[in-house]
Structure 1
Amino acid sequence: MKELDSGIALSCAGCGVSLQSERQEEAGYLPESALKREPVICQRCFRIRNYNEASSVAVDQDDFLRLLGSIGETDSLVVHIVDLYDFEGSLISGLQRFVGNNPVLLVVNKVDLLPKSMNLNRIRNWVQQQAKAEGLRTVDIVLCSAKRNIGFDHVIEALERHRKGRDVYVVGATNVGKSTLINRLIRDYSDLERELTTSRYPGTTLDAVHIPLDDDKDIIDTPGIVYASRMTEIVPRSFLQSLLPDKSIKPLVYQLNDKQTLFISSLVRFDFVEGERQSFTLYISNALNVHRTKLERADELYKEHRGELLGAPSREELDEMPAWTRHSLRIPRGAKKDIFIAGLGWIQANGTTGAIVDLYAPKGIKVLMRDSLI
């Protein structure tokens, strides 16, 4: 372990992990020659920052739970960042239990991915209802896009209003834009000249990163929680760029008769089993391929053309992923519902006559029916 003259271990300025130069396969590794580099960052962060290259190093789960559980022992403001595009997939289940009586500011990122015509007040009300249903007590909800600089002034205002001289803990799942938002806070809310490592890969931040504020308090960036129930965590990393939209989604509308099937690449199959002719709208990355066929041909089509005609990932990569499991859902008459697939997006049922649908997704991926966001 390399140490400063004061005897304090060096930490990576990008991900916060303690640095070491002996075990290349473990977190925090950097060559001794790199200690003179400014800022001092581990080899993993250097590769992510300069080459957008992923690393297989993961944070120890026991350390992570200890870190998250310690928040309840502090007097802090907790900022929970969620991804609006993947709301149920990125919301931390049971967060209230971890943070105790500390106030929670819910920052809903990536609002820029929704169609530009969306009413933000309606979205905020929807988020409030969903968060309440999950048992999360919030002092405020702020919609923003850290990447597009939308609503960030409201994030700063909410921090000023609710912090009241306390430390700020920032928590969130992987790939919700947490480090991007933290980097904006560093530039706008702290005089510290540094930048966290940001990438499209899960688990970029490996340990708590303390960012000093002007009043001797800190913003503490915690590691992203990895939820295996999200599609983003199980697809090949080379495919993440196609799965994660980086600009406003163009909804795809399909008029379907019953006994018709939609394939979303080779990842998900959607069967309209029973109901009157109606439309279904797909809110997914526009880089994904969608293929329509008859239900009676779906099994054969998938067997012959998965990973090829139906779209990536490849057959070999699909074989490394969990096998499909079926979710049978009944959409009530007169109800406007979304069928949500964690880490992928959702399918909106637009009909008022009800429907019975089956959705096939890799085993373990969270699939649920919810009130429509849009």
Structure 2
Amino acid sequence: MENNLICEGCGVELQTINEKEIGYIPKSSLEKNNLLCKRCFQLRHYNKHETVALESDDFLDMVSSINTTDSLVVHLIDIFDVEGTLLKSLPRIVGANPILLVGNKVDLLPKSTNQRKLKHWLFSKAKEAGINVVDVYLISSSIGHQLDELAVEMEYRRQSKDIYVVGVTNVGKSTFINQFIKRSTGVKEAITTSYFPGTTLGFIKIPLDRDSSLIDTPGIMNRHQMAHYVSKTDLKVITPKKEIKPRNYQLNESQTLFFGGLARLDFVKGDKQTFVCYFANEVPIHRTKLENADSLYERQVGELLSPPDEVTLNELPPLVKNSYRISDEYTDIVFPGLGWVTILNGEVTVNAYAPKGVAVSIRKSFN
């Protein structure tokens, strides 16, 4: 297309030839002031999302060009899904550029969360992954928590260089950047935002001064997240929208907890104790006897045990068992993109079930 026109929503190069390819815009829309590809137009005005025909490697290859620049990198992660959003490949992507690690959606955590301890824990998690970060910030893009303090730090750290914002899909990058644009220019929703993974398709540059820009990058697909296995409707249910209320269950061994019908935790062996569940408040939790769990799931998945809805059920992989013998107190069983369960006393054997491809893990609790 002449003049390489760019979609103002997602950053992809616009084209008028093939309606089924990314970047399509009707010729009649080229005269408008705000140029949006068909996908972004439908997303912004009708909240209608279309799947993007780009593979994970395409996203990764594009973002990896950052390692040839001299810039500051802001790595945005989801506090509610650290394991699913912390990019283990970040050093290869960004090279020697300094990294600010920013934990988003901190407003979703219970107010009792020790944020100092959480920051220390994130430093440790980054170090374990081989990521050297210069500092850690805890923010909320949606309500603006700590954004002013982070803006000062970003300005200090960048030293007149470009800033690249990187992260996996659905981590809130565009909302994060929109907050900065709104504060500095008054422009609202300058970058397309959505619940759904994969909204930004190319680098979007927002000038900071004559020589440097704040740059939104494509989200990197992490197929181990629950978001890639559920319908649009279910994704809205499992994505927290306000502060999570911990739900406590006193369990005896041989009892099971279902988290909707998307995950399951069996208390196989151990003394009676409390299991603290951290999931979106809209996700129902159902307790049953272990001996009844399999038949209950077969009969009630999509009904009593929902989500999943019918759309998700048609695509959802089978639940796979992960067995753990946990000795330490305050250990979390993590279901990436869904939530986690804190085991307070330890000395237990549990089975954790999640859809095949979703990487269940255990960690030391940061609470």
Shorter chain as denominator, the TM-score bin is over 0.9
Q: Which residue of 2 aligns with 1:277?
A: 272
Do residues 195 (structure 1) and 186 (structure 2) align?
Answer: no
Do residues 305 (structure 1) and 272 (structure 2) align?
Answer: no
Q: Which residue of 2 aligns with 1:357?
A: 350
CA shift, 1:324, in A, is: 1.2
| 2-structure distance, mates of 1:60, 1:14 | 20
| 2-structure distance, mates of 1:183, 1:350 | 39
Do residues 48 (structure 1) and 77 (structure 2) align?
Answer: no
Give secondary structure in 1 for the equivalent of 2:199. Answer: coil
Structure 1 vs Structure 2: percent identity of aligned residues? 46
CA shift, 1:190, in A, is: 6.1
Change (3 A) 1:62 1:273: closer
**Is contact 2:178–2:188 with CA below 8 Å preserved after alignment?**
no
| 2-structure distance, mates of 1:163, 1:197 | 25
Give secondary structure in 1 for the equivalent of 2:80. Answer: helix
Out of 127-136 and 53-62, give the one that drifted further: 53-62
Q: Which residue of 2 aligns with 1:38?
A: 33
Per-residue CA shift, 1:212-255, capped at 9, x if unaligned?
11232111111011111000111112211101011100111100
Gaps of 5+ in 2: none
Q: Which residue of 1 aligns with 2:228?
A: 233
| 1-structure distance, mates of 2:69, 2:144 | 31
Q: Which residue of 2 aligns with 1:290?
A: 285
CA shift, 1:373, in A, is: 2.0
The equivalences for 1:81-160 within 5 A come to 81-160=76-155
**Is contact 2:231–2:311 with CA below 8 Å preserved after alignment?**
no
Q: Which residue of 1 aligns with 2:364?
A: 371
**Is contact 1:229–1:342 with CA below 8 Å preserved after alignment?**
yes
Change (3 A) 1:59 1:358: same
Out of 305-314 and 266-275, give the one that drifted further: 305-314
Question: Partner letter of residue 356 of structure 2?
Answer: K
How many matched pairs?
A: 367
| 1-structure distance, mates of 2:57, 2:312 | 30
4+ runs deviating over 4 angstroms: 189-194
1:169 to 136, 156, 164: 164
CA shift, 1:268, in A, is: 0.6
Change (3 A) 1:243 1:193: closer
Q: Which residue of 2 aligns with 1:80?
A: 75
1:346 to 334, 340, 346: 340
CA shift, 1:315, in A, is: 5.1
**Is contact 1:113–1:247 with CA below 8 Å preserved after alignment?**
yes
Q: Which residue of 2 aligns with 1:17?
A: 12
Do residues 180 (structure 1) and 175 (structure 2) align?
Answer: yes
Gaps of 5+ in 1: none
CA shift, 1:134, in A, is: 1.2
CA shift, 1:129, in A, is: 1.2
Give secondary structure in 2 for the equivalent of 1:36. Answer: coil
Kindly report the root-mean-square deviation, in angstroms, between the aligned alpha carbons of the 2 structures: 1.5
Change (3 A) 1:221 1:254: same
